[in-house]
Every structure is written in structure tokens, then in C-alpha cells.
Copies of this chain bind each other. A is one copy, B any other.
Amino acid sequence: MKNENQSFSRSLWISRGKSKVIQIIDQRFLPFREVVCDLNTPEDVIRAISNMQVRGAPLIGVTAAFGVYLTLLHFKDNPDREAHIEKTIRKIRQARPTAINLKTAVYLQLNAISGLSNYEKKIEVAFQTALKYMDTEIEACRKIGENGLPLIETLYNKNPSRPVRILTHCNAGWLATIEKGTALAPVYLAHEKNIPVHVWVDETRPRNQGTRLTAWELSQAGVSHSLITDNTGGFLMQQGKVDLVITGSDRTALNGDTANKIGTYLKALAAKDNGVPFFVALPSSSIDWSLENGDKIPIEKRDPDEVLFIEGLSASGKIEKIKIAPDKSMAENYGFDVTPGRLITGLITEKGLCKANRKGILKLFPEKSGL
């Protein structure tokens, strides 16, 4: 959705013109093209999630919620609709394995519609539930911004002669959520409040979400930043050039262990080694209340071609994919790693900050302690 300045600041919305059509920015084309894409069918949703037209744990959660609504709508007149719906919703839930938000959203929907016998009512409830879930996620990100802001303010007050230098990995901005972001929410809020910040943007190989998405988001918002290779963050910390690390989360276990984009663990180790605070910003929809620790989080293995080829803009302005590896070499491509809670200074959630451990998390979310 473009704001009055005609720049996007939201990753998914309900089309104003045609009622109830879900629209997204197709993130595969950023930063080179701003392509808007309609999601009309459950297949559109499954494809959008698995092809990473949408990505980022909170955003794929919301997309999946609307996917359940579209599934009900799509099979409305199908004589064998119950079987189709069950199969399709399972596909949505399994479109990507690591982020828990997908499952959270689907279960929320199934719970909302389970008691209803009127099919039209089911459709309407699913739509309203998805809308409400989206609004909850937007509000969570807004609160994450507010709750994380004091971390940046405190660092700035300690040394007002220079910007607060924040390192982030992958993209946990509004493109990964719906609005504002998780890791970037406090950064945007600091920028709005005229607290000078500078963001070190890890390029985040192999899909370069840092280069392609975070740098683009920050450019659009006018936030000072520098792209760095994923190899660089440790060096910058050794040099005292990083004041704070904030990343997102794809799934956080009860003990604080956090699956996030691969390479996050290496930055957490460097932060620990250099005494740099390392925070994970996440809505509670990214907490897996069923997991005591991160050992059982499934780690997505992706197409080796993502490592062997890379996409960019040619001199003539065309989007091109080039091969960067020797012909005979193969690659292995894992999407996530798990950062142990012991390396995380704290979590920034919609309910406030907490330690990255069972006690800290359950103190913020006491209603979950009976689960």
C-alpha cells in the first residue's frame, strides 16, 4: 500500500477497490521493481509463501490466515469441499517449515471456525479473524517499537556525539511483518524521534534480504545505513563500531533459543565476545509454546541454486540471474540457525522486554504457563 508520498510502507493489504482481494508486494522483485500482486486463491497463497513472494515470520502468518479464508471461499461450491479444505489448509501450514507463525495463524483460524455450521458464516468469520489477527500483529509491532526504543535512547544519552550504531541481520522490517517491523520497529521510532541512528545491514546471503529488502526499506525511510557482507559484523564489533544488535525471530522456544535467518548465531557469538547487547524482537506469535528448547525446531533446506546463482540489475537495467560458481561445484543451502538463549541479552516483545529464558518469557506471558 502506497502512502501519500507514493512509497510503500506496508507489505499486505485488502484491496480498496475490489472488496476482499488480498494484495501484497511481490518481494522477489525488490529493490529493482515494485510489483503488486493479487492473492485470489489458496494456491496463490501457498505459492506466495513457498516462493518467498512474502517472507518474514509475522507476514507469512498473516498471509496464511487470509489463506484459510480464501480456501473456504474457493471450495464453497465444491461437492467434496471438506476434504479439499482439509488438504489445502494442511498445505498452507506446511508451505515453509521453520516459522511458527504459519501454524499459529492456521490453528487460530481453525479454532475460530470449528464450531460453526453455517458455511457463509464460516467464510465471514475466517475473514474477520484474519483481519483481527493482522491488526493484532500490527499493534504488536507498534508496541515492540515502543518497548525497544528505550534501549536506543539509553545508548544515545550515554554518547550523544555520534549516532547509535545498530547491526541487523536479514530483514525484520515492515516487509517482514505488515507495518513497522520487529527488529526495525525501534529503529524507525528512534529515527522519527530524531535520535540519530546508523544501521549496519548484513547482506544476508544467499537471498540477500539485507541488501535487497532492509537497505531498500531504510533508504525509503531516510534512515542512515551501510551495507556490509555477512563476514563483517564481528570485525565491526571488535572495533567498537556496533552499539547494539537487534534481529527478528522465526521461532523462539520457551528457553529463549531462537531460530532466525542463518548466520544470526555467528553474530550472537561475536556480540557475546565483545560485550555488545544482542536483542531479538518478536511478537508473541513467534513463540512456540510447545517447545522447551530450540533443538527440535525444523530447519528449512532450500534449493542449492540460491547459492550458485545470484540476481541483480545489469548495466542495461534488466533483472538478470548470473552463475557465480564453477560448473562442477554443488552447494548446500540451509535457511536458518538456532541462536541459544544464553547468547541473547533479551527479547523485545509487545508486552515488554524480558530475559531470553523460560522464567523471563512466562513472567511476561503468565497466561501461557499452564500450557
Query: Closest CB of chain B to A307's CB: distance in Å?
Result: 6
A-B contact pairs, 7 of them (CB 8 A): A206-B229, A219-B326, A227-B304, A228-B331, A235-B262, A266-B266, A309-B312
Given contacts A205-B203, A324-B312, A329-B225, contact A234 B265 (CB under 8 A): yes
Mark A312-341 against chain B: 1 for CB-CB distance below 8 A, else 0.
111100001111111111111110111000
With a cutoff of 8 Å between Cβ atoms, the chain B residues found around residue A313 in the complex are 322-324
- Assign chain A's interface to a size class: 35 or more
Is A211 among interface residues, defined by CB-CB distance under 8 A?
Answer: yes
Across the interface, A229 reaches (CB within 8 A) one of B205, B226, B267, namely B205
Q: Is the CB of A235 within 8 A of B205?
A: no
Q: Is the CB of A230 within 8 A of B227?
A: no
**A175 and B321 alpha carbons, distance in the complex (Å):** 27
Is A94 among interface residues, defined by CB-CB distance under 8 A?
Answer: no
**A233 and B230 alpha carbons, distance in the complex (Å):** 12
**A355 and B38 alpha carbons, distance in the complex (Å):** 61
Q: Is the CB of B314 within 8 A of A312?
A: no
**A330 and B261 alpha carbons, distance in the complex (Å):** 23
With a cutoff of 8 Å between Cβ atoms, the chain B residues found around residue A219 in the complex are 326, 328-329
Across the A-B interface, the 6 shortest Cβ-Cβ residue pairs: A231-B263, A312-B322, A235-B337, A31-B326, A205-B229, A227-B331
Mark A167-206 against chain B: 1 for CB-CB distance below 8 A, else 0.
0000000000000000000000000000000000101111
Q: Is the CB of A331 within 8 A of B226?
A: yes
Q: Is the CB of A299 within 8 A of B227?
A: no
Is A232 among interface residues, defined by CB-CB distance under 8 A?
Answer: yes
Given contacts A205-B205, A313-B323, contact A334 B263 (CB under 8 A): no
With a cutoff of 8 Å between Cβ atoms, the chain B residues found around residue A251 in the complex are none
With a cutoff of 8 Å between Cβ atoms, the chain B residues found around residue A234 in the complex are 263, 265-266, 269, 337
With a cutoff of 8 Å between Cβ atoms, the chain B residues found around residue A55 in the complex are none
Q: Is the CB of B322 within 8 A of A262?
A: no
With a cutoff of 8 Å between Cβ atoms, the chain B residues found around residue A311 in the complex are 322, 324
With a cutoff of 8 Å between Cβ atoms, the chain B residues found around residue A53 in the complex are none
Is A40 among interface residues, defined by CB-CB distance under 8 A?
Answer: no
Is A216 among interface residues, defined by CB-CB distance under 8 A?
Answer: yes
Is A270 among interface residues, defined by CB-CB distance under 8 A?
Answer: yes
Across the interface, A211 reaches (CB within 8 A) one of B218, B230, B324, B338, namely B324
Closest B residue, CB atoms, query A169: B231
Is A147 among interface residues, defined by CB-CB distance under 8 A?
Answer: no
Q: Is the CB of A308 within 8 A of B338?
A: no
**A235 and B321 alpha carbons, distance in the complex (Å):** 27
Across the interface, A337 reaches (CB within 8 A) one of B201, B238, B331, namely B238
Q: Is the CB of B270 within 8 A of A266?
A: yes
With a cutoff of 8 Å between Cβ atoms, the chain B residues found around residue A205 in the complex are 203, 205, 229-231
Across the interface, A320 reaches (CB within 8 A) one of B320, B332, B338, namely B320
Given contacts A313-B322, A328-B219, A338-B238, contact A204 B231 (CB under 8 A): yes
Is A208 among interface residues, defined by CB-CB distance under 8 A?
Answer: yes
Is A310 among interface residues, defined by CB-CB distance under 8 A?
Answer: yes
19 additional A-B residue pairs with CB within 8 Å, beyond A212-B325, A229-B230: A31-B325, A203-B205, A203-B307, A203-B324, A215-B329, A216-B326, A219-B326, A226-B330, A226-B331, A227-B330, A227-B332, A228-B332, A232-B263, A232-B333, A235-B262, A238-B265, A238-B337, A266-B269, A314-B322
